[in-house]
Copies of this chain bind each other. A is one copy, B any other.
Amino acid sequence: MALEPISTPPAPPAGPPVAAMAPLCSVFRRYLKSQHLKYTPERADILNSIIEADNVFEVDQLLMEMRRRGHRVSKATIYRTIKLLQDAGIITLALFDSKQSHFQLIYGKAPRDYMVCMKTGKYIEFSDDELVALRERICRQYGWEPVGHRFQIYAMSPQGRKRMAEGAEEA
């Protein structure tokens, strides 16, 4: 019963993430209830930490961040919760190529698209109406019903180009 938005964060960060927090919790809670699953402190902590990351995250990174804040959760629980959050439509797997999976918040957000620098790994997030329109057009063209999309541009940033020029070796 003592399940309010987790105890007291040391420094309430200002900005959109905080606003998004309450609604997402209830979305998750509702989903869990519909599946006859329980809303536990661990699950709440994990969702809140993801919201505060407010970006692409990896499991290890998330776990470290949570530990740093004194939340004790096992990696297994994070994996189990991530699966639930995916099923609930709150997060999704991002499409980076690295070995470790990257996830991102999607609930209530316009689809985020990424442009990644192939040299530095730095990336820029954007979202583009034209792309959404294009998606609709293609779906209509085949008689399919659009649900979502992913778009990632591979490119070379100015820094990447510079670094490329400097170090002409590269192992």
Contacts and interface: CB of A to CB of B under 8 A. Distances in A.
Interface of A: 1-8, 35, 93, 95-98, 115-118, 120-121, 124, 126, 128, 130-131, 134-135, 138-139, 142-158, 161, 170-171
A110 to B, nearest CB: 15
A4 B97 CA distance: 9
Contacts of A146: 153-155
B147 A118 contact: yes
Number of copies: 2
11 contacts: A117-B144, A124-B142, A124-B144, A128-B134, A131-B134, A139-B155, A144-B155, A148-B154, A149-B152, A150-B152, A150-B154
A95 B171 CA distance: 27
A158 B170 contact: no
Contacts of A143: 157-158
B157 A1 contact: no
Contact of A156 (B4, B117, B126, B144): B144
A145 B117 CA distance: 9
A155 B139 CA distance: 8
B170 A8 contact: yes
A60 B170 CA distance: 32
Given A115-B144, A144-B115, A135 B153 contact: yes
Contacts of A115: 138-139, 142, 144
